C-alpha cells in the first residue's frame, strides 16, 4: 500500500556506492557520539526494567509459598544441595506467583501509557528533553523501590508504575532522534547499535544484580536499585548537557558532517512539522506488518526477560548468584549477534543485489523464527540444564536480527514520522508484552513444573511464528507515498483553505445572528 510499481525495482549498485562515498566524513563524528549516548540510554532503560526480575527471586520467601503437592514434577528428581542453598537465600516477602506476575508487569502499565503522547509531542517539540527528563524520573524513583517494598506491595506496584511512565519516551524519542541524525545508508548499523543497548543492559543487569543480591550492601537486593538508580541519574544529566536535538542545533558538530547528514535526510531534519496523515498510516499494511512483528517480539521477549530467572531457579535449580549469570547469557548472545547481523544487512543493501524490503524480511525472519525454534527445543530438553541454557542462548541470540529487521523498518517507511510510528507499535507491543508475566504466573501458579513451563514456552514460540509470518507477507522497506515532503506545500495550502473557509462560515453565522438581534 502506498507503493508505486517502479519503486519495487532493485536499487542501482553504482548509485548506492556513489551515495555512500561522496562527501562522507571519515572517522568518528558527532552522529556516532549521539548513537553511543542513545545506546547507553537504552542500556540504562533495560537495566531499570530487568533488575526487578532478578531481585524478586531474592525478595520472595519461596519456601513459604503454598505448592500443589500432587502436581510436583519428579521427572528430574530433586536437587537437594541447590534446594537447601536456595532455601537459605529465601527473602522476606510471601508473594504468590500470580502476585509476582502483577509486580513484574506493573512497570509496563506505566510504560505503555506514555508511548503515543510522547511520540506525538516529540514530533512537535523535539525528543531530547522528553527522553532525558523521562529517564531521570525512572532512575530517581528506582532509588525508592526498597522503601516501597517494605511499605507494602501496593506502594511497590505504584513506584514501578511511575518508573514505567518515565521510561515511556525512550523508544519513540530514540527513534525520532535517529531519524534526525542518521543517514539512510547507516541506519541498520546505527539503529542496531542503539537498540543493542537493550541486550547490553540486560547482560550487565542480570549477573550484577545476582551478585548484589548475594553480597550487596543494605541487605543484598536493595543495593541493586541504589547502584543502578545512581548510574541512571548520572547518564541522564550527561545526556541533557552534551546531546543536541539535531545536527542544525548542535554547536559541536563539524560543518562537513552536518552537511553530509542534512543532505542525505531529504525532508527529515529541520524545523518543519507537517500534518500527521493519521488515516493513511492506519490504512497502511506495511505499518500493520511492523505492528504485528513488534507485538510478537515483545510477547516472546518479555516472557523470557521477566520469567527466565524464575525458571532457572524453579526448574534448573540455579542459585541466586549463578542465576543472574546464566539468565544473562542468552542476551549476551543476542547483543553480539545483533551487531554482526546489522553489518551484514547494510552490506546486503550496499551490494545492490537486494532491496530494503527483501533485506528487512530475511533478517527479521532470522530474528523471529530463530527464538521460536529455540523455545520449542528448550521446552523438550528434559533434565539437562546445560542443553537448555545452550539452546536458549542460541535461540535468543538469533533474536538480535529484529533490530535490522522490523525495528528500523519505521525509518524506511517514513523518516519524518518514524517516532510516531514507533510510539504506536511500541505501545501496543508492550500492552501485549505485559500479558507475558501475567500469563506465565497463572500457568505456573502452585505448579512450578517442567510441564507447566513447557506451556509457557510453547505459547511464546507460537506467537513468534504467527507474527513473523504476517510481517513476511505484508511488510515493505519502501518509503510510503504519505511521507512525501514534495507534497507538504500542497497539503498545507489545502489545510489553510479549509481553515479559512471554516472561519468565513463562522463569521457569516455571527453576522446573521447580529442582524437578527
Q: Alpha-carbon distance 504 to 497, whole Å?
A: 10
Q: Give span(s): CATH 1.20.1250.20, the chain.
A: 28-66+91-264, 277-483
93: helix, strand or coil: strand
Yes or no: say if 72 and 123 are a contact pair by the CB < 8 Å rule.
no
Q: Alpha-carbon distance 161 to 482, whole Å?
A: 36
pTM for this prediction: 0.69
Q: How far is CA 209 from the centre of its chain?
A: 21
Q: How far is CA 498 from CA 53, 79, 304, 456, 505, in A?
A: 53, 74, 51, 54, 11
Yes or no: say if 457 and 381 are a contact pair by the CB < 8 Å rule.
no
pLDDT band at 486 (very low <50, low <70, confident <90, very high): low
pLDDT of residue 83: 45
Closest CA to 227 of 51, 57, 103: 51
pLDDT band at 18 (very low <50, low <70, confident <90, very high): very low
Place of cell 546486503: 348
As a three-state string, the secondary structure of 446-492 is: CCCCHHHHHHHHHHHHHHHHHHHHHHHHHCCCCCCCCCCHHHHHHHH
Question: Could you report the per-residue pLDDT of 451-466, keeping only the tens digit for each?
Answer: 788 888 899 999 999 9
| Residue 9, pLDDT above cutoff 60 | no
pLDDT of residue 71: 43
Q: Alpha-carbon distance 87 to 438, whole Å?
A: 25
pLDDT of residue 84: 43
Closest CA to 58 of 195, 223, 174: 223
pLDDT of residue 10: 40
Q: Alpha-carbon distance 183 to 161, whole Å?
A: 36
pLDDT of residue 185: 72
Name the CATH architecture for the domain at 277-483. Up-down Bundle (1.20)
| Residue 270, pLDDT above cutoff 50 | no
Does 28-66+91-264 carry CATH code 1.20.1250.20? yes
Place of cell 541470540: 397
pLDDT over 70 for what percent of the chain? 80
Handedness of CA 261, 266, 267, 268 (dihedral sign): negative
Question: Could you report the per-residue pLDDT of 43-91, keeping only the tens digit for each?
Answer: 988 888 878 877 887 787 656 656 544 344 455 555 544 444 444 456 6
Amino acid at each position: 500500500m502506498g507503493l508505486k510499481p517502479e519503486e519495487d525495482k532493485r536499487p542501482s549498485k553504482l548509485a548506492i556506492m556513489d551515495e555512500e562515498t561522496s562527501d562522507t566524513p571519515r572517522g568518528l563524528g558527532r552522529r556516532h557520539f549521539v548513537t553511543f549516548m542513545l545506546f547507553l540510554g537504552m542500556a540504562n532503560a533495560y537495566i531499570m526494567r530487568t533488575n526487578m526480575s532478578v531481585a524478586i527471586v531474592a525478595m520472595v520467601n519461596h519456601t513459604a509459598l503454598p505448592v500443589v503437592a500432587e502436581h510436583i514434577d519428579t521427572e528430574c528428581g530433586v536437587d537437594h544441595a541447590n534446594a537447601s542453598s536456595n532455601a537459605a537465600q529465601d527473602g522476606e516477602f510471601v508473594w504468590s506467583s500470580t502476585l509476582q506476575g502483577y509486580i513484574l508487569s506493573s512497570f509496563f502499565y506505566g510504560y505503555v501509557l506514555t508511548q503515543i503522547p510522547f511520540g506525538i509531542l516529540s514530533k512537535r517539540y523535539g525528543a531530547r528533553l522528553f527522553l532525558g527528563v523521562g529517564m531521570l524520573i525512572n532512575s530517581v524513583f528506582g532509588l525508592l523501590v526498597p522503601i516501597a517494598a517494605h511499605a507494602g506491595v501496593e506502594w511497590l506496584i505504584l513506584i514501578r508504575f511511575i518508573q514505567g511512565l518515565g521510561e515511556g519516551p525512550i523508544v519513540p524519542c530514540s527513534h525520532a532522534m535517529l531519524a534526525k541524525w542518521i543517514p539512510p545508508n547507516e541506519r541498520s548499523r546505527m539503529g542496531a547499535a542503539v537498540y543493542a543497548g537493550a541486550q547490553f543492559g540486560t547482560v550487565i543487569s542480570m549477573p550484577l544484580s545476582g551478585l548484589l543480591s548475594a553480597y550487596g550492601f543494605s541487605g543484598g537486593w536493595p543495593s541493586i536499585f541504589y547502584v543502578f538508580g545512581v548510574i541512571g541519574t548520572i547518564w541522564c544529566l550527561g545526556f541533557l548537557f552534551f546531546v543536541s536535538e539535531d545536527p542544525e542545533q548542535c554547536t559541536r558538530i563539524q560543518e562537513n558532517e552536518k552537511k553530509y547528514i542534512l543532505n542525505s535526510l531529504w525532508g527529515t531534519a529541520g524545523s518543519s512539522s507537517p500534518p500527521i496523515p493519521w488515516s493513511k498510516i492506519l490504512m497502511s499494511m506495511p505499518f500493520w506488518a511492523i505492528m504485528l512483528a513488534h507485538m510478537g517480539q515483545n510477547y516472546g521477549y518479555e516472557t523470557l526477560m521477566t520469567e527466565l530467572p524464575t525458571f532457572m531457579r524453579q526448574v534448573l535449580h540455579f542459585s541466586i548468584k549463578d542465576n543472574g549469570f546464566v539468565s544473562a547469557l542468552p542476551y549476551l548472545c543476542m547483543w553480539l549477534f545483533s551487531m554482526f547481523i546489522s553489518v551484514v544487512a547494510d552490506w546486503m543493501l550496499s551490494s545492490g543485489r537486494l532491496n530494503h524490503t527483501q533485506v528487512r524480511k530475511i533478517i527479521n525472519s532470522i530474528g523471529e523464527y530463530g527464538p521460536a525454534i529455540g523455545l520449542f527445543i528448550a521446552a523438550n530438553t528434559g533434565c539437562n540444564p546445560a542443553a537448555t541454557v545452550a539452546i536458549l542462548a542460541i535461540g535468543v541470540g538469533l533474536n538480535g536480527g529484529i533490530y535490522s529487521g522490523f525495528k528500523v523498518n519505521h525509518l524506511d517507511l517514513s523518516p519524518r514520522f518514524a517516532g510516531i510510528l514507533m510510539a504506536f507499535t511500541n505501545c501496543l507491543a508492550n500492552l501485549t508484552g505485559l500479558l507475558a508475566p501475567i500469563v506465565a504466573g497463572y500457568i505456573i501458579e502452585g505448579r512450578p513444573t517442567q510441564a507447566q513451563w513447557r506451556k509457557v514456552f510453547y505459547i511464546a514460540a507460537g506467537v513468534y511464528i504467527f507474527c513473523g509470518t504476517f510481517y513476511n507477507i505484508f511488510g515493505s522497506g519502501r518509503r510510503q507515498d504519505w511521507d512525501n515532503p514534495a507534497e507538504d506545500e500542497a497539503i498545507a495550502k489545502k489545510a489553510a483553505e479549509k481553515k479559512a473557509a471554516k472561519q468565513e462560515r463562522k463569521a457569516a453565522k455571527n453576522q446573521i445572528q447580529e442582524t437578527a438581534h
